[in-house]
Amino acid sequence: MTQKTETIDIESLFENICDRVDYIAEVYVAHLPSASEVAQLHITVHTGDADSREEYLDVTTADKVMIDIGDAEPHLLPFDVMATIGLAGHLQGIEGTTVYVADNIWGAEARDLDVGLSILRQKLAGTCPSCGGTVEESFSDHYRDNRTCQELEQV
């Protein structure tokens, strides 16, 4: 007997996260192993509501998230969601994307969820969110060769 995979679209997943957590400072999506060869999403929610540095959240019964990146078929990826009391702030690059930053985080530029999800979609589609160019080999090579692209993505 085969088990049916349940999916949730990325926007609904973030609605569920927001319903579960009162205050969110930052949301970071690690797309592993890299944006061009993504096999899984690890979503980290920085919040004072977490009880520890690693508190896995059960926000949906779905086991895969659906992300429309403009292709004929959307990406269906396994995911997990972890809340942390750890400080916000991640390096942007091939391994992850900050999709949300609250407007009261000292030393960081605010990022609306819509903007962050657009950046994530572009990376998963193999497009640099900074210059709009197609990333042929890997984001690692692209960012090394085009340092301003990586710098423009910083929050």
Through-space distance between the first and last CA atoms of the chain, rounded to whole angstroms: 47
Reported as a single tens digit per residue, the pLDDT across 93-151 is 667 899 999 998 887 889 999 999 999 999 888 888 888 888 877 777 888 888 888 77
33 upstream amide cis, omega within 30 of 0:
yes
- Specify whether the CB–CB gap between 34 and 139 falls below 8 A: yes
CA pair distance 141, 54, nearest whole angstrom = 32
Sign of CA dihedral 69, 44, 155, 100: positive
**37 or 101: which leads in pLDDT:** 101
Residue written as tokens 């950046």?
119
Helix, strand, coil share (%) of the chain residues, nearest 5: 25, 25, 45
Whether the predicted model's global pTM rises above the 0.85 cut: yes
Q: How much is the pLDDT for 3?
A: 65
* Overall average pLDDT of the 52-63 stretch: 94
Say which amino acid occupies 30.
A
Helix axes 113-124, 10-20, angle to 10 degrees: 140
Task: Check whether 49 has a pLDDT greater than 80.
Answer: yes
Residue written as tokens 């930052």?
26
What's the token pair of residue 141?
A: 């090579």
Give the pairing of strands 40-46 and 75-84: parallel
CA pair distance 14, 52, nearest whole angstrom = 21
Q: How much is the pLDDT for 15?
A: 96
Q: How much is the pLDDT for 57?
A: 94
